Amino acid sequence: MATHPNYRYAIVVGASSGVGEEIVRQLAARGTRVAALARRKPRLEALAERYPTRVIPIEHDVQCREDLPALFTDLCGKLGGLDLLIYAAGIMPEVGPDEYDFAKDEQTFDVNTVAAVAWLDLAAQRFSGARAGHIVVIGSVAGDRGRMGQPAYNASKAALAAFAEALRNRLDRQGVTVCTIKPGPLATEMTAHLGFRNAMSASLAAERTLERAHRSGEFYLMTRHRILFWVIRHIPSWVFRRLNI
């Protein structure tokens, strides 16, 4: 069984599928009160029915950010506090090898990075005042390099990782932890069209994420990934562009 602090109150953004959904399930099972946010509210209802006193389902589109501060305050009020914010929303639209579609790329950045920054800023402000709290962003190994297949996705996750690192450096001395999780290939809806083999299950990824959620740093979820991506990060650019990865 994983050892981690007992979080009392958590907000999970992007909670209707994949790792986010699993994280909500596992937090609720351990007694945390969770505000679960997603566009597809019906998908949240199942979790809310299973844990009626612990899961608060909220319909929210991360691209609508007008009343975000009010929503954030309201959620903290509904929960009774906040210990943990997990930003797990992310999209990876299919991009063809010759496709340069700004609309698609803009949306990728908007969901994966801009909206994440909006939530992280709110949480950082609150936690820095409280001098306590944990922020977790679900990044990706894909953010480690700009690869030919998913330019916008790679760049959006790289930007998110850099932003989270900066927050971590700011908040460390105030007792707030910022954790960047870099899952490798996962078997989720987002990646279904990629046909990964040997992908990690969302529930295992969620479990490993929660084990690390109270720590500051960047974490891969498998030792294999940590070694592999250390190598990949250090391949010189002139070699990298000739490889097919």
Give the residue numbers annotated as catalytic, written as ranges. 153
Nearer to another protein, 68 or 187 (CB): 68
Q: List all residues 6 or more positions away from 183 whose beta carbon is below 8 Å from its beta carbon.
A: 19, 138, 140, 141, 200, 205, 209, 220, 221
Nearer to another protein, 126 or 168 (CB): 126
Adjacent-strand bridge partners of 179: 136, 217
Nearer to another protein, 72 or 229 (CB): 72
Picking from 96, 93, 115, the residue whose alpha carbon sits closest to that of residue 104 is 93
C-alpha distance from residue 159 to each of 17, 82, 227 (Å)? 23, 25, 22
Q: How far is the CB of 129 from another protein (least distance, A)?
A: 5
Q: How far is the CB of 127 from another protein (least distance, A)?
A: 8
146 CB-contact burial (10 Å; exposed 0-12 / middle 13-18 / buried 19+): middle
Q: How far is the CB of 131 from another protein (least distance, A)?
A: 6
Hey, what are 13's tokens? Answer: 């953004």
Nearer to another protein, 72 or 153 (CB): 72
Q: How far is the CB of 124 from another protein (least distance, A)?
A: 9
- Binding-site ranges for another protein (CB under 8 A): 6, 69, 72-73, 76-77, 80-82, 122, 125-126, 129-132
